[in-house]
């Protein structure tokens, strides 16, 4: 089972009639790294279908996700707003992302997604694939956070993400993070049982205490064992449907293990969709946008220690490292023949949050007249860049968050100079540039002396500006001021990932058939 990088297709198909508005097809891949595909210089993986989007449209060399991990990045992508504005930026220790389907937090109803606006404008909308932005609020079935509550008429996909525990090879996220976790848990369990036995006739209190310890250990074990049943599922319009499957046809087909195989599968799937568009005669009326929610996950390993995460090419760092290019700079392509000349390369820094306003602009929808008209949007219209009328980024600054803390600031001083100031660095293991299983934002180190890179000339972040130089002082001062002004303008909103929102709630647990919570899609039967 290849975890964490199942592709995701968010599809918005427009009405082909009337005002000749474009159809919109968004392909968001999970954890795809900057160096994973052919059109981003990977010569050992063949991705002809993805490359065709670059050949026929625009390739962005500096497209940046709003966060270095799924949940906040996707929240920002769909709303064109930094995740802090929705309470989706996450907090400490694992609260960076939604972890259970039975968790109360999620993308708030008050947010307006691209789907919601397009639906209101008469589009037909659907969402296929990974959501990872919450399920229910008060009881299972209210679906308050799901795609259906956010403007999508049809949803078929995973409420969560694909994680190690969902496979059949015995892997688990918990043991990947803490290799001895299960050993300790079993030791505690057997130790407390043994102690209870010995203490039974000596001390009633200690006996019950030991029994309690054993009970808690058993519950933890049960909870983790059930994680697949509780969280690995596909929903159709909010009803639990089936377990996940992997396609065996691509196993062993690449030179890069399971991960490479899934990149090949991804490329095949993109090819199928593109040829269906051509078959329907929609290829030239459709904006096709392909991107990744964050950079490749460097620490991801299989049971045998094989690399199972993406490759970030020349970039430093990876997923969950909010200040590093490898965490946030992602492969991004846009094909739309009426506007974009084939083979366009766009080097100006852009954000994934820009897609939303860009689509509205191409469709001729006046933003002010829509429900997003009343709020701060962080995304910008990219049509001037796409058509070649402009070569500068529409952003003067971009803020690179890790949870609700700005770890780095990007300053587009002019068309040829972009600075990046790092205020934090990931808490790497000594002598390496990675963490154990994943770097946590909360464990990042604040730098006494921030690092500044001329990111256009130094893509790998290896040659910081000399500290104390005139240039260093000037850039630091400007970026600090921009960050402080930006933060002062961010309104406080309820945090969707506090501990109380975060804990598992039985009343929210999706369960298709009692008592085992398992079922099958008759169309795709699984050997479970």
Nearer to ligand NAG, 132 or 297 (CB): 297
Chosen residue from 3, 30, 31, 36 binding ligand NAG by CB under 6 A: 36
Give the separation between CA 354 and CA 82, rounded to whole angstroms.
Answer: 11
Task: Choose which of 85, 228, 256, 329 interacts with ligand NAG (CB under 6 A).
Answer: 256
* Cβ distance to ligand NAG smaller for residue 276 or 413: 413
* Residue 479 known to be catalytic: no
Q: Residue 199 contacts by C-beta under 8 Å, 6 or more apart in sequence?
A: 206, 207, 210
Rounded Cα distance between 379 and 114, Å, is 12
35 binds ligand NAG (CB under 6 A): yes
Q: Rule CB under 6 A: say whether 421 interacts with ligand NAG.
A: no
Is the Cβ of residue 153 or residue 177 nearer to ligand NAG in the bound state?
153
Binding mask 149-188 for ligand NAG (x = CB under 6 A): ----x-----------------------------------
Of 259, 397, 424, 453, the residue at the interface with ligand NAG (CB under 6 A) is 259
Q: Where are the beta strands (DSSP E) in 210-319?
A: 234-236, 239-242, 286-292
70 is catalytic: yes
Q: How far is CA 454 from CA 168, 327, 328, 398, 426, in A?
A: 46, 18, 17, 15, 20
Q: Using CB atoms within 10 A of its CB, is residue 446 exposed (0-12), middle (13-18) or buried (19+)?
A: exposed
Q: Does 391 bind ligand NAG (CB under 6 A)?
A: no
Q: Which of 132, 150, 297, 400 is catalytic?
A: 132
Q: How far is C-alpha 309 from the geometric centre of its chain's CA atoms? A: 14
8 Å CB contact between 23 and 14: yes
Rounded to a whole number of angstroms, the minimum distance from the CB of residue 44 to ligand NAG is: 4
16/224 with CB nearer ligand NAG = 16
Show the site string, 110-139: x = touches ligand NAG by CB under 6 A, - = not.
Answer: --------------x---------------
Q: What angle do CA 303, 306, 307 make, to 5 degrees?
A: 120
To the nearest whole angstrom, how small is the minimum distance from the Cβ of residue 211 to ligand NAG? 49
Euclidean distance between CA atoms 442 and 93, whole angstroms: 7
Question: Is residue 361 a contact partner of residue 62, using CB atoms and an 8 Å limit?
Answer: no
Please, what is the end-to-end C-alpha distance for the chain in angstroms? 14
- 34 near ligand NAG, judged by CB under 6 A: no
Instruction: Tell me if 295 contacts ligand NAG by CB under 6 A.
Output: no
In the complex, minimum distance from the CB of residue 523 to ligand NAG, in angstroms, rounded to a whole number:
19
Residue nearest ligand NAG, Cβ-based:
311
Task: Specify the residue for token string 């995460």.
Answer: 309
Under 8 Å between Cβ of 400 and 323: yes
Residue 45 engages ligand NAG in binding (rule: CB under 6 A): yes
Instruction: Provide the 10 A C-beta neighbour count for residue 417.
Output: 13
Q: Is 228 in the site for ligand NAG (CB under 6 A)?
A: no
Per-residue interface string for the shown chain with ligand NAG, residues 495-524, x marking contact by CB under 6 A: ------------------------------
Q: Which neighbouring-strand residues pair with 24? A: 12, 287
Task: Pick one of 23, 42, 101, 232: the residue that binds ligand NAG (CB under 6 A).
Answer: 42
Among the residue ranges 140-148, 266-274, 414-422, 435-443, the one whose residues contact ligand NAG (CB under 6 A): 414-422
Determine contact, residues 176/164, Cβ cutoff 8 Å: yes
Beta-carbon-side half-sphere exposure of residue 226 (alpha carbons within 13 Å): 19
The catalytic residue positions are 70, 132
Residues found near ligand NAG in the complex (CB under 6 A): 35-36, 42-45, 124, 153, 256, 259-260, 310-311, 413-414, 416-417
């Amino acid at each position: 089972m290849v975890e964490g990088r199942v592709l995701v297709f968010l599809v918005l198909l427009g009405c082909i009639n009337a005002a000749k508005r474009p159809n919109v097809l968004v392909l968001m891949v999970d954890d795809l790294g900057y160096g994973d595909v052919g059109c981003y210089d990977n010569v050992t993986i063949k991705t002809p279908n993805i490359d065709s989007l670059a050949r026929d449209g625009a390739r962005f060399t500096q497209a940046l996700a709003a966060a270095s991990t799924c949940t906040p990045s996707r929240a920002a992508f769909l709303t064109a707003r930094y995740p802090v504005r929705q309470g989706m930026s996450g907090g400490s220790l694992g609260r960076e992302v939604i972890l259970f389907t039975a968790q109360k937090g999620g993308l708030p109803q008050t947010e307006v997604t691209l789907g919601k606006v397009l639906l209101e404008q008469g589009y037909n909308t659907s969402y296929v694939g990974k959501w990872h932005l919450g399920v229910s609020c008060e009881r299972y079935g209210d679906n308050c956070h799901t795609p259906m509550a956010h403007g999508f008429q049809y949803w078929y996909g995973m409420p969560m993400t694909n994680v190690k525990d969902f496979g059949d090879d015995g892997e688990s996220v918990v043991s990947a993070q803490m290799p001895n976790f299960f050993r300790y848990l079993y030791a505690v369990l057997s130790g407390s049982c043994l102690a209870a036995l010995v203490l039974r006739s000596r001390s009633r209190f200690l006996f019950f205490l030991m029994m309690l310890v054993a009970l808690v250990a058993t519950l933890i074990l049960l909870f983790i064992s059930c994680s697949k049943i509780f969280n690995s599922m596909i929903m159709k319009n909010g009803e639990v449907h089936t377990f996940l499957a992997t396609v065996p046809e691509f196993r062993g087909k690449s030179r890069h293990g399971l991960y490479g195989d899934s990149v090949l599968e991804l490329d095949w799937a993109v090819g199928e969709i593109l040829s269906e568009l051509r078959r329907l005669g929609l290829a030239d009326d459709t904006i096709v946008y392909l991107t990744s929610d964050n950079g490749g996950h460097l620490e991801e390993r299989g049971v045998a220690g094989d690399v199972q995460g993406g490759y970030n090419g020349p970039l430093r760092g990876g997923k969950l490292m909010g200040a590093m290019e490898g965490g946030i700079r992602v492969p991004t392509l846009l094909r739309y023949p009426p506007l974009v000349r084939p083979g366009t390369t766009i080097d100006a820094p852009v954000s994934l949050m820009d897609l939303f306003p860009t689509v509205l602009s191409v469709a001729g929808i006046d933003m002010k007249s829509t429900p997003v008209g009343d709020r701060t949007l962080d995304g910008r219209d990219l049509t001037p860049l796409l058509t070649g009328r402009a070569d500068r980024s529409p952003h003067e600054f971009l803020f690179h968050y890790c949870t609700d803390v700005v770890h780095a600031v990007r300053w587009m001083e002019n068309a040829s100079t972009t600075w990046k100031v790092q205020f934090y660095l990931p808490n790497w293991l000594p002598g390496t540039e990675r963490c154990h299983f994943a770097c946590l934002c909360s464990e990042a180190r604040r730098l006494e002396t921030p690092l500044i890179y001329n990111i256009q000339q130094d893509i790998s972040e290896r040659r910081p500006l000399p500290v104390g130089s005139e240039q260093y002082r000037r850039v630091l001062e400007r970026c600090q001021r921009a960050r402080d002004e930006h933060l002062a303008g961010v309104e406080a909103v309820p945090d969707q990932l506090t501990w109380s929102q975060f804990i598992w709630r039985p009343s929210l647990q999706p369960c298709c058939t009692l008592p085992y919570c398992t079922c099958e899609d008759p169309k795709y039967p699984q050997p479970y």
